[in-house]
Structure 1
Amino acid sequence: MSPAKRRGILIGGALLVVVVVVAAFFLLNSGGSAPQAEAGAGATSVENPGALDPHSAITEYLQDLSENNPDAAGRLTDDDTAAAVALRDTRNTLNPSSVTAKLTVLQPTPAGAKQTGGTFNVSWALKPGQVWTYDVPFQLAQVNGKWLVHWAPSLLHPKLEAGQRLVISTAVRDTTAVADRDGKPLLVSGSGGVRPVDGDPAPLLRSALTGQVTAAAGNGFAVERVDTSGKSVETLFGQAAEGEAKALTSSLSLAAQNAAQAAVDSYQGSAMLVALDTGSGDILAVAQNRAAGNSPKALNGLYEPGSSFKIATSVAAVQQSGLDAGSPVDCPGVATIGTRTVKNEGFELGATNLQTAFARSCNTTFGQLALALPADGLKKAADELGLNADYEIPGINTELGKVEPAASKDEQVEDGFGQGRIQASCLGGALMAATVASGKAITPRLWHDVETKVVKGYSPPPASVLGQVRTLMRAVVSSGTGRGAASAGTVFGKTGTAQFGDGSNATGWFVGYRGNVAFSVVLENSNDSGPAVTLAAKFLKAL
């Protein structure tokens, strides 16, 4: 679920009594030098964020800190990016039930003064009976007429230095903190906090995993200050336990995660891959390569799905228009449908059947099929495939898609081949494929110990409809645009190439399933679905 939709997750009484182990993997940047005074005369005038007076600057900063609004708090500092990242990661690391930050001392500011300082008190409610309270000195400076808080790691704790970080640990000796669904360690906890096992198998989910780590045995709980290597410098609060703690069990499969990461890392451009278990809804793997960046776009980035959305159009055509895989359809190379001129990628099939048109990804066919549907026909099909569903999965923010009724006939035509206002995420593509494979609604989960909350569920298409769609998806790999995955076994899939912007660039898609593994591959700016098929085949062959 996205942050805008997020609701507070109520954790049952049983979870309230367990020991929480959390670690953060972030570097607290920025030095400790004093802030610079206001720019002198002749400097370029730039309107800066900040407050009109020192009291407003620090009290607004503390309010944003207390209310978990790191971006707003960062804008009240002289290093907004570093501040926002550090504040957000610290909150995720300590995972408090509440934070209270109050001003205690603000030094008088004589007329004309450009700098001042003071002290505030912060309290972290970390777990039942564990409240960490301390005082923090701060500095303020007037910059371009606005008062800003000087950012330094010491604003998080007065002993914290540049390059150091805070971790929470429950064990003195290394123990498994998070295991994959087969019991293989993903994270370990010990002196210096929680850290990935060798190889860092799930870098994109590191924060999500560390933020949910729970120990079911022992009373150890300590906040530590560690250096850049992860070595403990000092215990700031509490005490770690001598005994072992019970590990959380993640839905991830270490084998699938390693295969997914290796597959995306083999591609030079931006690549992401999500895999789901079609039976349990387990999130088996979430991977992005370096070119895709650190933001978890695989889980919540929305893209036009292109022809991969023809899965939904086919569901609608079979269910609402009475077609089947053998139904006759036309596939001209170019067609005027409504007022839109629709083209295929340099081919025409003429009179053919639905299976062949789907396998070859005929846009002109699917534009015509979409136009014959009611205005909300594609939206209903997308609903049944889970693209408009919504879940709260502890530790991660997710978006599956956004499919609304067409606002016009022209838009309806474009929606039929995923080029209108249709949007889906990589996770949404995997969920769509898993629904076709299993014939049931899928509730994705990252944990075996903590439940996913269904905010908005869905009901799948009838079995008879899905039987026809499976036939279509198999033909894509056996004789159509997904032939590059044929060597990976009995694969069902659908390719997609979605143009965006001025049409000069396109996102490549391949969604599908093999056995009980559903997958979705998204390649930004690939301009072709072929590399997505190749990447998916690498992933499947490695399983």
Structure 2
Amino acid sequence: MTRASRTLAATVTLAVACMTLTGCFEEPSPHDAVRDFLVGWQSGDYDLAAGRTDGDLNTVRKALSDAKLELDAASFRFKITSVSMTGDESKAAFHAEVDLGENNPLWQYEGVLPLHLVDGLWKVRWSPSVLHPQLKEGQRFAVDTDPKPRQPVEDRAGDPLQTDTVLYVAGVYPARLGDQAEEVVARLSEVTGYAQDRLLSRIRSSPPDKFVPLVTFGRSRYQTMRPELDAISGIETQPQDQPVNPGAPKQVVGTVSALTPETEQKLGGPQRAGDSVGKSGLQQAYQDYLTGSTQTKVIILDLKTGKEVAKLKEWPGRQNVSVKTTIDSKIQAAAEQAVADTETSALVAVQGDTGEILAVGSKGMHQEKDALAGKFPAGTAFSIVAADALLKAKVSPKQRLACPQERTVGGARFVNTGQTTGTTGSATFQDHFAKGCVTALASLARRVTAADLVKSAEAFGVGKPWRLPLKSFSGSMPALSSDADKAKAIAGQNVEVSPLSMALVAAAVSSGTWRPPVLVTSPTSPGPAAEVVPVTQPDPVVVDAAVRTTLTAMMRAGAAGTPAQAGKGRVYGITATAGDQEDRPMTWFVGWQGDVAVAVLSRNYNAAAVAGSFFSAVRMPS
């Protein structure tokens, strides 16, 4: 809940409290003075509160006002717990709840109001202990905070996936400002846009000899504003190294910015000036874990020395933690190298037997929006999934099929734009699978039912709502109500997939089990800043053993003699063609080497060549 909404909630509660406090005591008594004092303090009507004490009105008003500033409090709430009276003396006990804001817990304590009769009227006997039993003359409240530095996003080996960069934190030492605090914050507010009252409250609530961070700047903004900041006497700027400069995969790791007035108001969480805020990727999804929450103490200070004389309450704050990913930095480097010479490509590599995402490389495409969450036509790459259904329907990989330039199935026209093998039927289903002959594959539509195709698609994860902290797409296939629909599905023309979903298809064949993707191993779920709502992770699905054996052989044939088999070791996979929404040709390579499965999607470039470059750089055993 933001500071503004918490203050509003306190105001609503105050209205109820006032009615309760007023309605309980109808006759003049100590209760009237207790009620008016606490209601005035709670509502900020310090004249009402001061008038119910025997102290100097100005002194009491200032003490109550200062207490709110010294605690940087969003609100006070009080509840009378008991009132006792002995002759001309009385004592009231109350329970206090102070909202310190910044998402800190409520500070709760028990207080006592001593009262006595003054000229026939009950008055609160004024002393600083009225505010808190441990507060004495010559003392004040303060809030001491200890923000934790941001933690890193890490690869699977525990190495950071970002480097340190310098952020600039402008702040003050309250003791050095003297009586110039209001003037300093007025100028700083004008320059930065931060609310003047918030800046002043932070200064007033802090220990006088401790540096109080007020505003954080990135390098470029700081350089722009430095002359204006330097012109404000009392403002000091301290550089701080923070792990916010993303390394590869940059768009998956995400960017971080300094806290601004807008983000501070929007977040309303544990962030304070001096903190950084994730703007995208994992940095945004795990913002609250990476920053944790600030350690906070409510203390009493000696006004003369500025030293702490009592600790009234302490909250350790939520410990911030690093985010541990499944990214393998060496494999990520190979992915970056493989796509470097292309114009538009995405490559996703996963661990075959776990579904863990090892690398996300891209050139001219976005790693999250395209590689993980993109919706692209599957083309004949989907024949891997269709082959599962066809093989279960007893279609033999040795069955001979014609591969004409054009074919019509159920009224749907198919054109073979790839390598043709003639129309005589001399090539096999395996040959056409390997070469991606659309017309041959589409001709098998009547050999399989729509239900079987749907079942195979589900078994390979297409359309499953898996859990991932970033946006992702598992694929989609429409209802198959005709032979034409089935033929289009086998050819991948009415099926949409992402590179991630196809990498998992390859991993299922290579390992024998389809598994949902994994990107982060700890923490187990993202924070409230994530754009993705967590769902239950789907169960793994075992691939039929006989089908897997046949598919493995078919995908070995599909990779043989292609650029994907450029290096040492056996590569398995198929090269496929598809057209995007603007009918621009795209190529797929979906396959694996060793225990690393990949999907490459490339426009105006041979995806198999990208895969070959990747496998050569990774040098996985076959």
CA shift for structure 1 position 360? 1.6
CA shift for structure 1 position 282? 1.4
CA shift for structure 1 position 209? 10
2:329 paired with 1:254: yes
Deviations 1:508-528 (A, max 9, x none): 2111111110111112x43xx
CA shift for structure 1 position 104? 8.6
- 1:330–1:487 Cα change, 3 Å: same
Q: Supply the distance in 2 between the matched residues of 1:294 and 1:374 (Cα, whole angstroms).
A: 36
2:152 maps to a residue whose letter is: A
CA shift for structure 1 position 245? 7.5
Q: Supply the distance in 2 between the matched residues of 1:278 and 1:206 (Cα, whole angstroms).
A: 22
1:195 maps to a residue whose letter is: V
Q: Supply the distance in 1 between the matched residues of 2:104 and 2:592 (Cα, whole angstroms).
A: 44
The aligned residue for residue 205 of structure 1 is 252
CA shift for structure 1 position 101? 4.9
Q: 1:178, 1:209 within 8 Å by CA — same for their partners in 2?
A: no
Q: Supply the distance in 1 between the matched residues of 2:106 and 2:470 (Cα, whole angstroms).
A: 25
CA shift for structure 1 position 434? 0.6
The aligned residue for residue 467 of structure 2 is 392
Q: 1:376, 1:405 within 8 Å by CA — same for their partners in 2?
A: no
2:542 paired with 1:460: yes
Q: Supply the distance in 1 between the matched residues of 2:419 and 2:516 (Cα, whole angstroms).
A: 39
Deviations 1:318-338 (A, max 9, x none): 01x212332333333332322
CA shift for structure 1 position 306? 0.5
The aligned residue for residue 511 of structure 1 is 590
Deviations 1:332-369 (A, max 9, x none): 33323222332323523432222211112111221011
2:498 paired with 1:425: yes
Q: 1:359, 1:476 within 8 Å by CA — same for their partners in 2?
A: yes
1:348 maps to a residue whose letter is: T
Q: Supply the distance in 2 between the matched residues of 1:519 and 1:406 (Cα, whole angstroms).
A: 28
Aligned equivalent of 2:448, options 359, 370, 373: 373
Q: Supply the distance in 1 between the matched residues of 2:486 and 2:159 (Cα, whole angstroms).
A: 48
- 1:278–1:361 Cα change, 3 Å: same
The aligned residue for residue 299 of structure 1 is 372
Q: Supply the distance in 2 between the matched residues of 1:385 and 1:309 (Cα, whole angstroms).
A: 10
Deviations 1:271-313 (A, max 9, x none): 1111100122211011222x22475221111111101001011
Q: Which moved more, 1:424-433 or 1:383-392?
A: 383-392
The aligned residue for residue 346 of structure 2 is 272
SS in structure 2 opposite 1:391? coil
The aligned residue for residue 411 of structure 1 is 485
SS in structure 1 opposite 2:542? coil
2:543 paired with 1:471: no
Q: Supply the distance in 2 between the matched residues of 1:370 and 1:130 (Cα, whole angstroms).
A: 66
- 1:196–1:487 Cα change, 3 Å: same
1:194 maps to a residue whose letter is: P
- 1:338–1:246 Cα change, 3 Å: closer
SS in structure 2 opposite 1:170? coil
Q: Unaligned regions of 5+ residues in structure 2, if any?
A: 9-73, 76-98, 108-145, 166-239, 258-269, 278-290, 297-315, 526-534
- 1:541–1:127 Cα change, 3 Å: farther
Deviations 1:7-63 (A, max 9, x none): xxxxxxxxxxxxxxxxxxxxxxxxxxxxxxxxxxxxxxxxxxxxxxxxxxxxxxxxx
Q: 1:440, 1:460 within 8 Å by CA — same for their partners in 2?
A: yes
Aligned equivalent of 2:384, options 286, 305, 311: 311
The aligned residue for residue 532 of structure 1 is 607
Q: 1:303, 1:425 within 8 Å by CA — same for their partners in 2?
A: yes
Q: 2:564, 2:611 within 8 Å by CA — same for their partners in 1?
A: no
Deviations 1:419-467 (A, max 9, x none): 12x1101110101111111111213111222347544445233111111
Aligned equivalent of 2:523, options 429, 433, 450: 450
Q: Supply the distance in 2 between the matched residues of 1:277 and 1:288 (Cα, whole angstroms).
A: 18
- 1:491–1:208 Cα change, 3 Å: farther
- 1:124–1:367 Cα change, 3 Å: farther
1:371 maps to a residue whose letter is: R
Deviations 1:118-154 (A, max 9, x none): xxx99999877499xxxxxxxxxxxxxxxxxxxxxxx
Q: Supply the distance in 1 between the matched residues of 2:337 and 2:147 (Cα, whole angstroms).
A: 30
SS in structure 1 opposite 2:339? helix
Q: Supply the distance in 1 between the matched residues of 2:101 and 2:430 (Cα, whole angstroms).
A: 59
Q: 1:202, 1:257 within 8 Å by CA — same for their partners in 2?
A: yes
Q: Supply the distance in 1 between the matched residues of 2:549 and 2:100 (Cα, whole angstroms).
A: 54
The aligned residue for residue 7 of structure 1 is none
* Greater gyration radius: 2
Q: 1:512, 1:520 within 8 Å by CA — same for their partners in 2?
A: yes
Q: 2:372, 2:471 within 8 Å by CA — same for their partners in 1?
A: yes
2:397 paired with 1:325: yes
CA shift for structure 1 position 252? 0.6
2:542 maps to a residue whose letter is: P
- 1:305–1:288 Cα change, 3 Å: same
**What's the RMSD between the two structures over aligned residues?**
3.7
Deviations 1:364-387 (A, max 9, x none): 221011232212332211111112
- 1:276–1:353 Cα change, 3 Å: same
Q: 2:256, 2:276 within 8 Å by CA — same for their partners in 1?
A: no
2:406 paired with 1:359: no
- Structure 1 residue ranges (4+ consecutive) displaced by more than 6 angstroms after TM superposition: 121-128
Q: Supply the distance in 2 between the matched residues of 1:282 and 1:209 (Cα, whole angstroms).
A: 25
The aligned residue for residue 154 of structure 2 is 179
Q: Supply the distance in 1 between the matched residues of 2:500 and 2:589 (Cα, whole angstroms).
A: 12
Q: 2:390, 2:448 within 8 Å by CA — same for their partners in 1?
A: yes
Q: 1:309, 1:418 within 8 Å by CA — same for their partners in 2?
A: yes
2:414 paired with 1:342: yes
Q: 1:306, 1:496 within 8 Å by CA — same for their partners in 2?
A: yes
What is the TM-score of this pair, normalised by structure 1? 0.59
Q: 1:476, 1:483 within 8 Å by CA — same for their partners in 2?
A: no
Higher normalized contact order (CA 8 Å, seq sep 6+, divided by chain length)? 1
Q: Supply the distance in 2 between the matched residues of 1:124 and 1:516 (Cα, whole angstroms).
A: 53
2:563 paired with 1:489: no
2:612 maps to a residue whose letter is: A
The aligned residue for residue 6 of structure 1 is none
Q: Unaligned regions of 5+ residues in structure 1, if any?
A: 1-97, 106-120, 132-167, 211-220, 229-234
Q: Supply the distance in 2 between the matched residues of 1:247 and 1:340 (Cα, whole angstroms).
A: 53
CA shift for structure 1 position 257? 1.3
1:487 maps to a residue whose letter is: G
Q: 1:434, 1:518 within 8 Å by CA — same for their partners in 2?
A: yes
- 1:353–1:181 Cα change, 3 Å: same
- 1:267–1:325 Cα change, 3 Å: same
CA shift for structure 1 position 411? 2.2
Deviations 1:489-531 (A, max 9, x none): 311112221124464x1222111111110111112x43xxx52
CA shift for structure 1 position 487? 2.7
What is the TM-score of this pair, normalised by structure 2? 0.52
The aligned residue for residue 438 of structure 1 is 511
Q: Supply the distance in 2 between the matched residues of 1:261 and 1:522 (Cα, whole angstroms).
A: 14
1:170 maps to a residue whose letter is: K
- 1:294–1:102 Cα change, 3 Å: farther
